[in-house]
Amino acid sequence: MRWRWLLVLPLVLLLVGCSTVSSRRLNSLETKVNTLEAKVDSVKERQSATESQTGESSAIVTSQENQGSVYESGKASLTKKDIQQALKNAGYYDGAIDGKIGKNTKKAIMEFQKANGLKADRVVGPKTKSLLLQYLTVKAQ
What local confidence, expressed as pLDDT, does residue 77 receive? Answer: 77
| Average pLDDT, 10 consecutive residues per value, the chain (141 residues) | 66 68 72 73 70 51 37 65 94 94 94 94 91 76 46
What local confidence, expressed as pLDDT, does residue 5 receive? Answer: 64
Residue 129 counted as domain residue: yes
Residues 6 or more apart in contact with residue 52 via CB below 8 angstroms: none
CATH number, domain of 128, equals 1.10.101.10
CA 115 to chain centre: 25
Question: How much is the pTM?
Answer: 0.47
Identify whether residues 92 and 129 lie together within a single domain. Answer: yes
The answer to whether 76 and 112 have CB atoms below 8 angstroms apart is no
Into how many domains does the chain fold?
Answer: 2
What local confidence, expressed as pLDDT, does residue 2 receive? Answer: 63
SS (H, E, C) 26-60: HHHHHHHHHHHHHHHHHHHHHHHHHHHHHCCCCCC
Identify whether residues 92 and 49 lie together within a single domain. Answer: no
* Structural domain harbouring 100: 80-140
